[in-house]
Amino acid sequence: MVRVIKMENKRIIFHVDVNNAFLSWDAAYRIQHGSTIDLRDIPSIVGGNQATRHGIVLAKSIPTKKFNIITGESIWQAKQKCPNLVVVPPNYHLYMQCSSALIKILEEYSDKLQIYSIDECFIDFTKMRQLLGDPLTVANQLKSRIKKELGFTVNIGISSNKLLAKMAGELKKPDLVHTLYPEEIKNKMWILPVEDLFMVGRATTLKLHKLGIYTIGQLAQTDIELLKYTFKKSGIILWNYSNGIENSFIENKKLTNIKSISNSTTMHFDVEDKETAFKVLLSLVETVAMRLRHSGYYCRIISVLIKTSDLHSYSHQKKLVAPLNCTNAIYDILKKLFIDTWKGEPIRLLGIKVSDLTENEFYQFSLFEKSLEKQLKIDSTIDSIRMKYGSKSIFRSCFVWSGLSPLEGGVSEEFTVMSSIL
């Protein structure tokens, strides 16, 4: 006997999603600083630096569609399709600033806010309805305010649970507000292809097609026992989702989908000495550690990746006794990992990764360890300066005249991997 979750029809949930976030944020920033070209109106992408040998498409403008450029393909391939393509390197610090500015506005509309990713938030508007008024009217006002004050657009989905609110926001883009209440599921959601349902990926889509299921409506009316037999426990979730059934709560304000944070850079020259390698690692750590603190997490595993000039790769990691998010502490561990791992070959790529993330702030020092309290206060101050004045407003003196970037950007897993909404 399958227990079906009952929907709570009294709740009002908003899902706010920035339209084409990375590219929009870069475009808005450039316009605010005098640019006469809007990246959103021309063939453009956010991806690796053109000075490097590698990089993939992380975000693309709408005009790139006619060139069949897809997210995840190499920049080299994208440039073959569109020789005049404008390539913008990722700027994580700008993205954090834009995300923080968005959150500040959203906090004025509810004290129940869940940051689902850097460019997506859920808002519980239920109790605010009596104070602020009709949800649809408020959502349109919010959308217009974000566009006017921050320079980028959002889609807002409205429903009685997070699943339907998210599905509503995806109905048509950009710069729109949609509702998808339970009574609207049949006319608005069931007509969509089954692959449009949240959690249905490519492999699941193929299996569903083999069962003759091509629309969300067909999935919703399929025998749940057949879905259980084919997909095990996931079959129940698929059936529930296709019928708009989902009852998870709005959680805390922290990013909820981060499994790890990584950063890497491909140098335009071969690194052949450890001092230069250390500086590259430090530039990567500066960004990763700031991401950790910004997201409210600590890491228990630290990894280093080395790719040589002949494309041979190897890595090494360390499990920590107590979690860290201090820049210098993580950097010290990475230096030791590098020394233990590097075999002396010319290096083309260096990467780092922090994983096994936790919200635990407890750190037990031994008698022989230095306290990190002072360093963490310094980290916090530096983070605040960079968030307010930009990533280049303060950096370490060792990068002066080094020819290396003091902070390497890159995009981490929280932007590319989304877990279940439950």
Confidence band for 364, pLDDT divided at 50, 70 and 90: low
Q: How many domains does the chain have?
A: 3
Q: Are residues 365 and 291 in the same domain?
A: yes
Q: 95 with 238, same domain?
A: no
Domain that holds residue 207: 190-242
The string of pLDDT tens digits covering residues 91-115 is 888 888 899 999 999 999 998 999 8
**pLDDT above 70: percentage of residues in the chain:** 89
Instruction: Considering only residues 380 and 102, tell me which one the structure prediction assigns the higher pLDDT.
Output: 102
Q: Which of 199, 230, 253 is the last residue of a domain?
A: 253
Q: Same domain for 283 and 364? A: yes
Q: Alpha-carbon distance 11 to 194, whole Å?
A: 26
Active site residue 251: no
pLDDT value at residue 82: 93
Q: Is the pLDDT of residue 416 over 90?
A: no
Q: 377 and 237 in one domain?
A: no
pLDDT tops 50 at residue 14? yes
Pair (237, 281) in one structural domain: no
Which candidate, 226, 236, 230, 169, places its Cα nearest to that of 203?
Answer: 230
From 120, 119, 366, 358, select the one nearest 250 (Cα to Cα): 120
Same domain, 269 and 294: yes
Residue 47: band (very low, low, confident or very high) from pLDDT cuts 50, 70, 90: confident
Q: Which residues contact 273 (CB under 8 A, 6 or more apart)?
A: none
Q: Compute the C-alpha angle 58/59/61, nearest 5°.
A: 155
User: Can you tell me the distance from the alpha carbon of 360 to that of 357, in angstroms, rounded to the nearest whole number?
Assistant: 9
Structure-block tokens of residue 28: 């808005």
Does one domain contain both 400 and 291?
yes
- 406, 376, 410, 402: which is closest to 394 by C-alpha? 406
Contact partners, residue 12, CB within 8 Å, separation at least 6 = 124, 125, 126, 129, 135, 158, 160
Angle at 47 between CA 82 and CA 37, to 5 degrees: 65
The owner of tokens 């693309």 is: 60
From the candidates 120, 286, 408, 414, give the one annotated as an active-site residue.
Answer: 120
Verify cis geometry, omega within 30 degrees of 0, for the bond prior to 174.
Answer: yes
Same domain, residue pair 212 and 178: no
| pLDDT at position 246 | 94
Q: What are phi and psi of 201, to 5 degrees?
A: -95, -170
pTM of the model: 0.74
Nearest-angstrom CA–CA distance, 332 and 352: 13
Residues 131 and 219 in one domain: no
Whether 102 contacts 24, CB under 8 Å: no
Could you read off the pLDDT of 212-256 as tens digits, one per residue? 999 999 999 999 999 999 999 999 999 999 999 999 888 766 666
Q: pLDDT: is 263 or 155 the higher one?
A: 155
**Has residue 397 got a pLDDT over 50?**
yes
Q: Distance between CA atoms of 67 and 83, rounded to whole angstroms? A: 10
The pLDDT tens digits for 274-329 are 999 999 999 999 989 988 888 788 999 999 999 988 888 889 999 998 888 999 99
